[in-house]
Structure formats: structure tokens, C-alpha cells
Amino acid sequence: MPGLYNFTGGPTSNKPLRHHTLVVLVENKAGVLMRVAGLFARRGFNIYSLAVAPSSDDERFSRITIVVDVESTPLEQVTKQLFKLINVVKISELDPADSVERELMIATVKADPSVRSQVIELIDVFDGSIIDVGFDELSMAVHGEPDKLDDVEELLRPYGIVELQRTGRVALPKLERTPPRLKSV
């Protein structure tokens, strides 16, 4: 029946979208990622990047870093529903302005002996490293903020990218810079 539902928000809305980063601590059990991803998929929200790894301090848990393009209001609802999942232990939303983000990129680029030194120099500028050398190709690793990796990717493209992989970002909240005793003044 048309007009039966009258909800606002969702992916078809025209408001500008922005990245939101969610860090979700989950129990390290089969199917948990599907439960988490399902809540986004149900609403038609696209997950922009995703990084999952076991928590370093307790093997019972994993940390999922999700970057999603969505407005704040529906995201708040998803976040609350994520927290309802039995296997979700903790969620923090990181604002890009208040967090430090890193991503790793590895790439294989065409680099015959005539341009090899140029490519090595370029990677050097971005604090990357060469991780494999072939007759006319180089493999490299660069880590950094996602914007920086975009730049590197752009600069490598003219040489011919054979293969390129990015991990998706991981993030931590920015640290407090004010000494605690000054805060109370």
C-alpha cells in the first residue's frame, strides 16, 4: 500500500553525507561481523571501510573499526541498535576532528629500471618502504592518514598500478593536551 509508511532520513535524503568512524568492541565469536554489518545493510547504509582484528589485550574480544557515510541522526539510531546486539560490548564514535586515523596501503607498480629510482624516491618522500622488487615492478607499503594515501595513489597512477590494496582505517581518540591540574582553574 503506497503511503503506508512515512519515515524521514535514510540513504535517499539529500543532506550532505560525511564520514563517521565507529569503533566497536565485540565478542570474538562466529557470525558477529554479520550481525554488525546487517544493521547497516538493513538501512541501505554503505560501509565505506572496515577493519577487524582481535583485541590485543583480551583474546575474547575483537575490535571492529567501521567507517560509514551517513547523517548523524540515523547513525545514532544504528549505534544504539548495535549496542543491543548481545555480542557487542562497547561502541565509541570517533569524530575525525578529535581522532587520529591511520591506514596501510600496499601496491605493486610498473617500474622498469629507467624509472625505478623515481618511484623509490617518491615512496621515500611519503615515508613508505619498498617491500619487494621484480625485474620491472616494485611493491611498496605506505601507511598514514587516509588523505595521504589518496595522494600517493594519485602520484603512483602515471607509472601504472598493477595491484593496490588498502586496509581500511583504524582510529584512536585524540589525547587530552591540557594538564589535568589546569583544567579546574
Partner 1 sequence: LEANEPTNGGEALIRALELEGVEVIFGLPGGAILPVYDPIIDSSIRHILVRHEQGAGHMAEGYAHVTGKPGVCMVTSGPAATNVVTPLADAYLDSVPMVCITGQVPYAAIGTDAFQECDTTGITMSVTKHNYLVSEAADIPRIVREAFHIATTGRPGPVLIDVPKDIVDPTNPRSAMQWYWPTDEEIAAGLPGYKPTTKGHPRKIKEAAELILAAERPVIYAGGGILKARAAEALRELAELTGIHVVTTLMARGAFPDDHELCLGMPGMHGNYTAVMSFQETDLLITLGARFDDRVTGKLDEFAPHAKVIHADIDPAELGKNRRPDVPIVGDARLIIEEIVQAIRGLLESGRQQADTSAWRTTISGWQERHPLHYDEHRPGDRLKPQFVLETLRDNTPDDTIVCSGVGQHQMWTSQYWHFNHPYTWVNSGGLGTMGFSVPAAIGAKVAFPDRMVWAVDGDGCFQMTAQELVTASVERIPVKIAILNNSYLGMVRQWQEMFYEERYSEVFLSQDVPDYKMWAEAMGCAGFRVDAPEEVLPTIQKANEINDRPVVIDFRTDAAEKVFPMVASGSSNSAVMVHPSQVAGIGEL
Give the max Cα distance, the chain: 67
Q: Is 35 among the residues that bind partner 1 (CB under 8 A)?
A: yes
Nearer to partner 1, 2 or 113 (CB): 2
Site string for partner 1, 113-152 (x = CB under 8 A): ----------------------------------------
Indicate which single residue of 11, 13, 46, 76 sits in contact with partner 1 (rule: CB under 8 A): 76
Indicate which single residue of 60, 118, 131, 134 sits in contact with partner 1 (rule: CB under 8 A): 60
- Residues in touch with partner 1 (CB under 8 A): 1, 3-8, 26-27, 30-31, 34-35, 38, 42, 60, 76-77, 80-81, 83-90
